[in-house]
Amino acid sequence: MDSIYVAGIVYGSMLDGPGLRTVIFLCGCSVGCPGCHNKEYWNKFNGKKYSVRELYSEILPFTPQKKITFSGGEPLEQKKELKKFINLLIILTENVKNILIFYP
């Protein structure tokens, strides 16, 4: 089972992309940008561990707008798991409006 480490989830954000959306903050970042706002997310294992399906089940009831942003940390440091999660969203969720990935 593939695990994805999540630092936090924000439902109903209007700050992290166009429109009302769900934001998933993923753990892990080796970039270490000066002035980073999310230094606590640098360690991959500081967050909550989910399976890809568990995370899908967690957000689905609270994401009726079907717009999702991945932030972090550096979301692409979990690219294998992130790809599986996005594929699951596309396969199982009708009319996914848009998916954004913010990275340093």
pLDDT tens for each residue of 32-69: 889 988 888 999 888 999 999 999 999 989 988 889 99
pTM value is 0.91
Q: Which residues of 46-62 are buried (b: 16+ CB within 10 A; e: fewer)?
A: ebeebebeebbeebeee
Say yes or no to pLDDT of 78 above 80.
Answer: yes
Which pLDDT band, with edges at 50, 70 and 90, does 95 fall under? low
Which pLDDT band, with edges at 50, 70 and 90, does 85 fall under? very high
Residue 48 backbone class (left: φ over 0; alpha: ψ -120 to 50; beta: rest): beta
Strand ranges (DSSP E) for 1-104?
3-13, 21-26, 48-51, 67-72, 98-101
